[in-house]
Structure 1
Amino acid sequence: MQKQLSKFHYQMYHFHKMEGNYLLQISCDRIQTFKSNIFFQAPQFVPGWKDAKAKVSKIIVEGVGRTKDDIIKKVSQQLYNANSLEEIAVACRNVKQDFLRLNLFRDVEIKLDTAKEKNAPKNSYNVIFNVKEKKRFTGGVNAEVGNNETGIRGKLQLPNTFGRGEVASLDWIYNLVGKDTGGGLRLTKPLGANPDILLTTGYSQYLANYPWSGFKESSKGFTVDLKFPSVFGDHTVAWEGTWRDLRAATRTTSYDVREQAGHSLKSGVKHTFVRDERDDKILPTTGVFIKTSQEFAGLGGNVEFFKNEVELQLNRKLIFDTSIQLSLAGGVMKGLGKEPKILINDKFFLGGPQTLRGFETRGVGPSSEGNSLGGTAYWLAGAHLFSPLPFRLGKGGFGELFRSHAFVNAGNLGEFHTDKTTKENLQQLSDTFRLAFGLGVVLRLGGIARLELNYVFPVRYTKGDK
């Protein structure tokens, strides 16, 4: 049963037999609200109450503070199109969801009352929204432990900043291991009172260290992106203008990295498409995930390239509460201009628990004196089998957070040569592929992350891999 969010308060039902049908009128009672449904608590012996004719006479919103009237009217306007009690209930649910998704309010209660005004039409109702606005400031400080990262992250948000669903946020991070530090300021605004169409502008400034490649990078930049849905999935179109300063991290940094040091200005656009039909983002058991991105840099500045990436994932349930996951990813990029050159901080990298298990972070592909140089083309494939813990340890309790994990993954990273055919480039990437398999345990950390403990056996690797 779905979790009830607000209790149903019963006072009085009035049933009137009109033209052979029963009309349900609700006086001073509350609609029962559920996570995904809002409906009337009507006895089953009252036939046709859902189809009974009804109209909304007045919409009342109580508890409004800084939220502007125009966006409230725009969201709730759909209630006037309802022609029956069931349509009113559905419209109430949609309005409530939009209020919450637009970050206008933190709590919304709905009441339905018969219209008592003298000039109110017959069979008309007043819809009353009792709302609680969000706090002006929210945020916190969290400790994070991740892939080669241990740090502190802070966030400050101003929900409903200007009263029309805007969210201003300030983020900052400090990595205790790599000494990465930085932050960003963002402002997100829903367009047309639609929570699915978001315009975001931001400024960021970071100092990041990449010890695997022997360099550190200081960056400052602006971004503008527009997110919108389609029948196929979600799209994001973004512009980024960033000044980067790349420096050698240590005295032992290789010459191949040092010769790329200096200032660069990147200005480009990027389109990202995502279709996510998985039942869970952390440990899915069914569903398909598709992600593609195309990036063009060269709208000013001295960085010019075209980059294309794709990621596919298929999840299926098997017998005995097991599931299988198949994944495939790849990318290719090409330098543009009279003297095509792609800097190390724009290239692809492969290796590590988030890409190719069994290898260190950025441990696969071209390298120089121990520094990973990255590549302009890669592919990655994997098969994962998830099952309950052996002997069903902790079944029904804490043990449900754990899953046994067996996997095999393969991939390769190299250079895409424009003077060679596509077949020759693919042949080069397939001849020296890396392969590893392993066993382990996966721990689900709420709905935000997962922790893996794996024992991995690298089967195929080349000289220079880590």
Structure 2
Amino acid sequence: MEEPLLGKSNGPDRNAMLKLPCKVTGITVSGVRFTSKEFIQRLLQRAQEKTTHGELAEELSRASGRLEQIGIFRAVRCEVDAGQKDDDVVILVDVEEKGRHTVSTGTFVNEGEGNLEVSWTLRNFGISAEQVQSSVACGSSGSNGFRVEFVKPYITDNLSFQASAFENLKRIATPRSVGEKKTGFAMTLGQVEGSSSFTYEISRRSLAGASQDDGWESKDMTSLKSSIMHTFLRDTQDNKESPTRGWLIKNVLEVAGIGGLGCKFWKNEVYAQVHHSPWREKSFLNSITLSLTGRFGVLQTLGGDTSRYFDRFHMGGAWSLRGFKPRSVGPSFGHGYAGTVSVGGEAMAMVDASLSGDLPLPASLSRFTKARFHVFGNVGNNVAVPSGPPVLTKCSQVFRDVRSAVGVGLLIPTPLGRLEINLCLPLRGSQADMDRASFVQIGLVPV
């Protein structure tokens, strides 16, 4: 942003030019067909408060980013022009809008199942960048779903709003004849430039294909949830797919039973990652990264209620606890992996430590893949905690009889997510866990 404003980066007295005073006297917007000019001008209000050319250049760069992130513009250009007086400047904003309608296809991964999604977007539903989006998805194991969503990117200078209606059916790993069906409505208020968001959701959950004759409890088969969720997220990672430095922390707190409806509980889950490349300055070790990942969660029922299948924690798989099959760790019923069904736990914890680096591939191959190797070790547990006493007083159970595994493998970025091919050695677990252990594990992890 600074070069159009201040000239070439190697020009004379650049630092002095950055400190020159200025006063923004107007904002001119061009290129709009559907978007309100007043909406764009409102997003640049902070620029009018800047008093030097350096401050103005930085703010215009941030404003361009905000406009691009909305998703309705193909291009955004912000420049300044001289005003009537010596220190006066006028901001010139030129945008190129995307088409009103877009139909697109995409792929994503949900607990190792690949999904194809077809979506339609109506941009500029109003005049302030509102959008309507609808999507239909189907999975490789029979999962399916649809969603209709209304998005208003700015209801205030730093708050966004979205509302959605949805229905989805997700086939569980074992048995595939049972699916998690969820139908509901959700509203979210989130900080545009911040770390917090609040979501209200009311949904009906049911286990399609399940019956009490197969061992399922009636309270798990159908339930209603009315909850408020607060999500806090901070992310400084340098790369989403294969981070080499930075950290991430995410905390999700949910309280259910709002309005006296449905199941009653509070639930909290913390997820954190930290990455460090200690030998970045040494050429033959510069790709080596040390990573530490942790998860901890508790579920506490309220008002004498009991926990439900949909609200409990499930663990196992490449995206959760390597060395164990999907959803195989924790409370279950049935015998043998083929007939064992996970029902989830009220307290869980997991820690994973790994060392990763670039594969020493020839240049002819490294152009096509950014595959990395990794060596890992993880420990974790998922336990049932009886309703009644505060679950936090019994969380020590999660640190007893922990499951653990070590292994080596490949990390391959793909359009669907990160493909992991691991050789695992489970070290500790119950006999049932060992029956459900995974020595060769292939899984897709969403990023």
Tell me the matched-pair count.
420
User: 1:277–1:288: 8 Å Cα contact kept in structure 2?
Assistant: yes
Gaps of 5+ in 2: 280-284, 335-339, 437-447
Partner of 1:264: 223
SS of 1:456 mapped into structure 2: strand
2:50 aligned with 1:92, yes or no?
no
Q: CA deviation at 1:148?
A: 3.8
TM-score normalized with structure 1 length: 0.81
Deviations 1:218-266 (A, max 9, x none): 3221101111268xx6111111101223343489x732x1534653221
Distance in 1, Cα, partners of 2:104 & 2:178: 31
Match of 1:281 among 233, 240, 264: 240
Bigger fraction of residues in helix? 2
User: 2:205–2:310: 8 Å Cα contact kept in structure 1?
Assistant: no
Partner of 1:430: 399
Deviations 1:142-168 (A, max 9, x none): 355665423321122223321212222
2:142 aligned with 1:142, yes or no?
no
Distance in 1, Cα, partners of 2:228 & 2:131: 23
In the TM superposition, 1:111-190 aligns within 5 A as: 111-115=79-83, 120-144=84-108, 147-177=111-141, 179-190=142-153
2:311 aligned with 1:352, yes or no?
no
User: 1:309–1:332: 8 Å Cα contact kept in structure 2?
Assistant: yes
Deviations 1:343-375 (A, max 9, x none): 212211110110011111111112211111211
Choose 82-91 or 166-175, whichever is displaced more: 82-91
Bigger fraction of residues in strand? 1
Distance in 1, Cα, partners of 2:72 & 2:107: 29
Q: CA deviation at 1:288?
A: 1.9
Partner of 1:64: 32
Partner of 1:215: 178
Partner of 2:439: none
Identity of matched residues, %: 26
Larger Rg: 1
Q: CA deviation at 1:281?
A: 2.0
SS of 1:131 mapped into structure 2: strand
Deviations 1:272-330 (A, max 9, x none): 11121222222111122111111111123231111111112121112212111111111
Structure number with greater CO (CA < 8 Å, separation at least 6) is 2
User: 1:288–1:314: 8 Å Cα contact kept in structure 2?
Assistant: yes
Counterpart of 1:138, as a letter, is T
Distance in 2, Cα, partners of 1:424 & 1:68: 55
Partner of 2:165: 203
User: 2:160–2:192: 8 Å Cα contact kept in structure 1?
Assistant: no
In the TM superposition, 1:27-38 aligns within 5 A as: 32=3
Distance in 2, Cα, partners of 1:357 & 1:463: 17
Gaps of 5+ in 1: 6-30
Q: CA deviation at 1:413?
A: 0.9
In the TM superposition, 1:328-347 aligns within 5 A as: 328-338=294-304, 340-347=305-312
